[in-house]
Amino acid sequence: MSRKQYDWELPDEITNRLGTTTYGRQRAIFEKNHLLLILHAPPKPNQESRDSVIFLRQPDGKWLCNGIENGEHRLHKLVESYHNQYLSLHTQYQSAIDAQQLFDIIEVTTPISRAAQNLKTTLDSARKMVKEDIFLIGKRDDAEEIARNFELLVSDSKNALDFRLAKNTEVQAKKAEQMAVAQHKLNILAAMTFPIMAIAAIFGMNVHHGLEIEHPIFFWLIFIAGIIIGLATKNWVSTGRKVPPLFRKR
């Protein structure tokens, strides 16, 4: 694949600095009063290669774009396309309500921000090469403002994303804490009722053990013993203290 040729005459000093396949990165080349600007259109999402837009300022001050006249208007429209992209993404940022939307904005904005920074650098270099061109100075100033806006948009989007992620983490931590408290309460309830339920289950079996004909005082003694064991177990669950020696297995 060869580099696209346009209908204009370039000094050999400029041609020798160009690659044979593509125009490459954004940059300004000035030789023999000819200023060649290699600029890129705003990159689209997931676009690997860049769409080059080539401008030539001839020694008489006439601007061409891709070999066609009316280069000043085309350069203005290129800078304006970056500005329009910023307005669209900034609107999306203001209406973003979740982390996924913010991540999508950052993913789209980051490559455009880099391209805008390179656009600003290229136009600033060109302004230093051709100091008397008022139009070029104006476009450089516009590019600086756009690059700064994109830089702030990326920064604000990342900060908003970090805040939402931190907020979600905090909410999840509170929910986990609430679940732990609820589980702890259930453990205490189970610890208090388990001994009584176990004793009731044992004595509720259809087995002749002789206690069914004894004085009712034995029932209440067993019931009280179950409560004491339950309280001891509850104390162990809630505080982590060891069970009193009275209830240890000998």
- Give tens-digit pLDDT for 134-150: 999 999 999 999 999 99
Tell me, what's the pLDDT at 249?
A: 47
Phi then psi dihedrals of residue 68, to 5 deg = -115, 150
| Beta-bridge mates of residue 56 | 36, 64
Per the CB < 8 A criterion, the answer to whether 74 and 43 are in contact is: no
Task: Identify residue 135 by its one-letter amino acid code.
Answer: F
Residue 57 has pLDDT above 90, yes or no: yes
Highest mean pLDDT among 58-62, 173-177, 181-185, 208-212: 58-62
pLDDT (mean) for 121-133? 94
Write down the pLDDT at residue 63: 95
**What pLDDT score was predicted for residue 246?**
46
Mean pLDDT across the chain, nearest whole number?
84
- Mean predicted confidence (pLDDT) in 46-60: 91
**For 28-32, 110-114, 166-170, 226-230, which range has the lowest pLDDT when averaged over its residues?**
226-230
Q: What is the pLDDT, as a whole number, of residue 4?
A: 84
Helix (H, G, I), strand (E, B), or coil: what is residue 196? helix
Task: Kindly tell me if the per-residue pLDDT of 219 is higher than 70.
Answer: no
Contact 195, 233 (CB under 8 A): yes
pLDDT band at 33 (very low <50, low <70, confident <90, very high): very high
Q: Which residues contact 180 (CB under 8 A, 6 or more apart)?
A: none
Orientation angle between helical segments 99-129 and 71-95, nearest 10 degrees: 150
Could you give the CA distance from residue 135 to residue 75 in angstroms, rounded to a whole number?
A: 10
Mean pLDDT of 101-110: 94
pLDDT of residue 31: 94
pTM tops 0.75, yes or no: no
Q: 36, 14 in Cβ contact below 8 A?
A: yes
